Amino acid sequence: MASELCKTISEAKLEKHKNLFLNYRNLHHFPLELLKDEGLQYLERLYMKRNSLTTLPENLAQKLPNLVELYLHSNNIVVVPEAIGSLVKLQFLDLSDNALEIVCPEIGRLRSLRHLRLANNQLKYLPAEYHQCIHVSLLLSFLILSVQMVSVSSWLDVTQQECYQSKQDLSFTYTGECAQLIYCIECF
């Protein structure tokens, strides 16, 4: 399996692939081959879903500077490194179905980020810095407590706020300066 992984990554480097699929590889560590040399600077989409990753490398942004989409759902990621905030072109980040309890505030520096998926983690709150990601379509999954409700509503600088509650989901509709955004928080 390791030689197949190396072959896949080497091919992607040589052929300057924009997409790299490393799903379902039972990876326990982020492949070092991805971070060697400068061969993957063209990579825009990295798919690493359904592995067993627990961490991400600190130099991810340095080695993969053109990432636009990063799919890391269904791993065992506990911590997202601060360096994630340096992926300036990142528009889509899927961290759903991991073991996150907190998410680093540096994600708030991702000005290009449009979609952030955090469903099915053990999140307790969102850092205040997330208000900087005003354009993000955010899907979360965690138990909502009154403290978290305050945390979420103060997270964005909003002019109007409507709240609807149905069986298992709670939707917030925010009308801000830029556009009307809908944030869904799924409870379990």
3-state SS class at 4: helix
Report the DSSP pairing between strands 137-141 and 69-71: unpaired
- Angle among Cα 125, 44, 93 to the nearest 5 degrees reads 10
The answer to whether 108 and 133 are in contact (CB under 8 A) is yes
pLDDT tens sequence for the chain (188 residues): 578 999 999 999 999 999 999 999 999 999 988 988 877 999 999 999 999 999 999 999 999 999 999 999 999 999 888 999 999 999 999 999 999 988 888 988 888 998 889 889 988 777 776 655 555 554 443 333 222 333 444 444 332 233 333 323 333 333 333 222 334 433 33
CA 123 to each of CA 19, 56, 161, 185: distance values in angstroms, whole numbers, following the listed order: 30, 18, 23, 12
> Which of helix, strand or coil describes residue 11?
helix
Q: What's the rounded Cα separation, in Å, for the pair 116 and 89?
A: 14
Cα(156)–Cα(174) distance, rounded to whole angstroms?
A: 9
Q: Are strands 169-175 and 160-165 parallel, antiparallel or unpaired?
A: antiparallel
Q: Is the alpha carbon torsion for 130, 132, 138, 144 positive or negative?
A: positive
What does the block give as tokens for 17?
């692939």
